[in-house]
Structure 1
Amino acid sequence: MKNRLTASSSALPDQPRKMRQVFGLFDLFPLSISSIGPVFSVAATGGVMAADAGWWALPAIAGLAVPFVIASFVFRLLNRHFPNAGASYHWSSRVMGKTVSQYQAWILILAYFFSIPPIAIPAASYTLALVAPSYHPSNVATILVTVFWVIFAAVPLLLGSKPTAHITKAFFILEMVSLLGFAVLGLTRLHATSVGIHFGAVPVGGMLVVAVVAATILDGWEIDSYAAEESAKPRKDPGLSGIIGALLALVFYAILYPLMFAETPMRLLAASTDSDPLALWAQRVLPSAHWVILVPILASTAGGLWLTTYILTRALYSMGRENLIPESFGRLSKRQVPHFATVAVLGLVLVIVSIQLFVASLGNFFSLVLSAAGFFLLAEFFFDILTAITFLTVGHRKLPDVQIQPHQHRWLLAGAIFSATIMGALLVAFFIYGPQAIGAGIDQTLVVLLLAGLIFVVVTMRRVKRIHIFDGNDSELID
Structure 2
Amino acid sequence: MPADARQTLHKTFQFVDLSSLSISSVAPIFSVAAAGSAMVQAAGAEVPLAIVLIAIPFILCSWIFLSLNQHFPNAGASYHWSRQIMGIDYSNFQAWIVIMAYFWSIPPILIPAAQFTLGALGVPHPGTGLQIVGATFWALFAAGVLLFGAHITARVTQIFLYIEIVSVAFMAIVGYSHWGPPAVGAGSFSLSHIHWAGVIVCMVVAATIVDGWEIDSYASEESRKPRITPGWGGIIGAVSVVLYYLLIWPLLLHQVPLERLQNTSDTLSLWAATVSPQFLPWMRVAIVASTAGSLWLTTFILSRALFAMSRDKVMPGWLGRLNRGHVPHWSIILPILLAMAVVLMQVFFPNMRNLFNLALSAAGFFLVAEFLLDGINMMRFLLIQHHSVRHHYKTHHHAGLLLGSLVVIISLSAVEVLFFIYGPKYIAAGIDQTVGVFLLLGIFYVLWLRWRKAGQGIYVFDGLESQED
TM over 0.5: yes
Q: Are 2:120 and 1:130 aligned?
A: yes
Cα contact 1:193–1:284 (8 A) shared by 2: no
Shift of the 281–345 alpha-carbon distance from structure 1 to 2, 3 Å rule, reads: same
- Match for residue 469 of structure 1 among 436, 450, 460: 460
SS at match of 2:161: helix
Report the Cα offset of residue 473 of structure 1: 2.8
Which of 203, 207, 217 is residue 215 of structure 1 equivalent to? 207
- Match among 247, 251, 269 for residue 239 of structure 2: 247
| Partner SS for 2:180 | helix
CA drift of 1:404 comes to 8.2
Equivalent residues in 2 for 1:11-50 (5 A)?
A: 11=4, 16-50=6-40
Quote the offset at 1:417 in angstroms.
0.4
Cα distance in 2 between the residues matched to 1:288 and 1:303: 25
Q: CA deviation at 1:292?
A: 2.6
* Other-structure match for 1:176: 165
What whole-Å deviation, never above 9, does each CA across 1:9-68 have from its counterpart, x for those lacking one? 344xxx713111011001110110000111001111110000011112221110011111
SS of match in other structure, 1:217: coil
**Partner residue in 2 for 1:229:** 221
- Mapped to 2, the partners of 1:310 and 1:302 lie a distance apart of 13
**TM-score under structure 1 normalisation?**
0.93
CA drift at 1:138: 1.5
Secondary structure of 1:46 counterpart? helix
- Which residue of 2 is the match for residue 89 of structure 1? 79
- The code of the aligned residue for 1:144 comes to V
Q: Which runs of 5+ in 1 are unaligned?
A: 1-7
Q: Secondary structure at the match of 1:238?
A: coil
Task: Tell whether the 8 Å contact from 1:121 to 1:142 is kept in structure 2 after alignment.
Answer: yes
Compute the displacement of 1:401 (Å). 3.9
2:323 corresponds in structure 1 to 333
What are the equivalent positions in structure 2 for 1:45-64 lying under 5 Å apart? Answer: 45-64=35-54
Quick one: distance in 1 between partners of 2:150 and 2:214? 16
Who is 1:4 aligned against? none
In structure 2, runs of 5+ residues without a counterpart are: none
Matched residue, 1:145: 134
Aligned to 2:359: 369
Instruction: Work out the CA distance in 1 between the residues paired with 2:22 and 2:334.
Output: 24
Deviation at 1:335, TM superposition (A): 1.5
Q: Distance in 1 between matches of 2:137 and 2:392?
A: 49
Task: Please tell me the residue identity of whatever aligns with 1:445.
Answer: T
* Aligned 8 A contact 2:187 2:258 in 1: no
1:206 Cα deviation (Å)? 2.4
* Maintained 8 Å contact 1:139/1:358: no
2:263 matched residue in structure 1: 271
Structure 1 residue 199: deviation in Å? 3.7
**Per the alignment, in what secondary structure is the counterpart of residue 16 of structure 1?**
helix
In 2, are the aligned partners of 1:16 and 1:334 still within 8 Å (CA)?
no
Gap change, CA 1:443 and 1:21, over 3 Å in 2:
same
Kindly indicate whether residue 183 of structure 2 is the aligned counterpart of residue 190 of structure 1.
no
TM-score, normalised on structure 2?
Answer: 0.95
Per-residue CA distance 1:419-468 (angstroms, 9 max, x = gap): 11000011011111111111211111011111111001011123352111
Which moves more between the two structures, 460-469 or 337-346? Answer: 460-469
Q: How far apart in 1 are the matches of 2:394 and 2:359?
A: 43
CA distance in 2, matches of 1:278, 1:400: 48
1:197 is displaced (CA, Å) by 4.1
Deviation at 1:474, TM superposition (A): 5.8
User: Which stretch has the larger CA shift, 142-151 or 285-294?
Assistant: 285-294
Deviations 1:105-146 (A, max 9, x none): 000000011111111110000011111235x31111111110
Counterpart-to-counterpart distance in 2, 1:322 and 1:464: 8
Deviations along 1:160-195, whole A, 9 cap, x unmatched? 000000100100111100110001111011116645
Asked if the contact 2:167–2:282 (Cα under 8 Å) also holds between the matched residues in 1, the reply is no
Partner of 1:102: 92
Q: 1 CA distance for matches of 2:293 and 2:28?
A: 11
Aligned residue identity for 1:250: V
Is the contact made by 2:201 and 2:426 (CA closer than 8 Å) also made in structure 1?
yes
Question: Shift in Å at residue 218 of structure 1?
Answer: 0.7
The aligned residue for residue 335 of structure 2 is: 345
Distance in 1 separating the partners of 2:48 and 2:83: 36
Counterpart code for 1:297: I
Q: Give the counterpart of 1:321 among 295, 299, 311.
A: 311
Distance across 1 between alignment mates of 2:369 and 2:94: 9
Partner of 1:68: 58
Deviation at 1:203?
3.1
- Looking at structure 1, the residues matched to 181 and 49 of structure 2 have their Cα atoms a distance apart, in angstroms, of 25
State the 1:396 CA deviation. Answer: 2.6
SS at 2:458 equivalent: strand
Moved more, 125-134 or 405-414: 405-414
> Does the 8 Å CA contact 2:227/2:464 hold for their aligned counterparts?
no
Flag the 1:475–1:146 CA change in 2: closer, same or farther, 3 A.
closer
Q: For the Cα contact (< 8 Å) 1:396–1:403, is it kept in 2? A: no
Q: How far does residue 156 in structure 1 lie from its aligned partner after superposition? A: 1.5
Q: What percent of counterpart residues are identical?
A: 44
Distance 1:288 1:56 in 2: 29
Question: What is the CA deviation profile of residues 177-234 of structure 1, one whole-angstrom value per residue up to 9, with x for unaligned ones?
Answer: 0110001111011116645542475333322221122121111111000000100000
Matched, 1:418 2:436: no
Preserved contact between residue 321 and residue 331 of structure 1 (Cα < 8 Å): no
**What one-letter code is carried by the residue in structure 2 that aligns with 1:173?**
Y
Equivalent position amino acid for 1:333 in 2? N
Tell me, yes or no, if structure 1 residue 116 matches structure 2 residue 106: yes
> Aligned AA for 2:325?
R
Q: Please tell me whether residue 205 in structure 1 is matched to residue 205 in structure 2.
A: no
Paired residues, number: 462
Contact 2:7 2:321 in 1 (8 A): no
What residue in structure 1 maps to residue 431 of structure 2? Answer: 442
**Could you give the per-residue CA deviations for residues 268-298 of structure 1, whole angstroms, max 9, x where no partner exists?**
11112xx111111111111345233111000
Contact 1:232 1:474 in 2 (8 A): no
- The residue type paired with residue 151 of structure 1 is L
Q: Which moved more, 1:288-297 or 1:96-105?
A: 288-297
- Aligned partner of 2:289 in structure 1 is 299
Question: 2:416 corresponds to which residue?
Answer: 427
Is the contact between residue 95 and residue 396 of structure 1 (CA under 8 Å) also seen in structure 2?
A: no
Q: CA–CA distance in 2 between the matches of 1:389 and 1:347?
A: 38
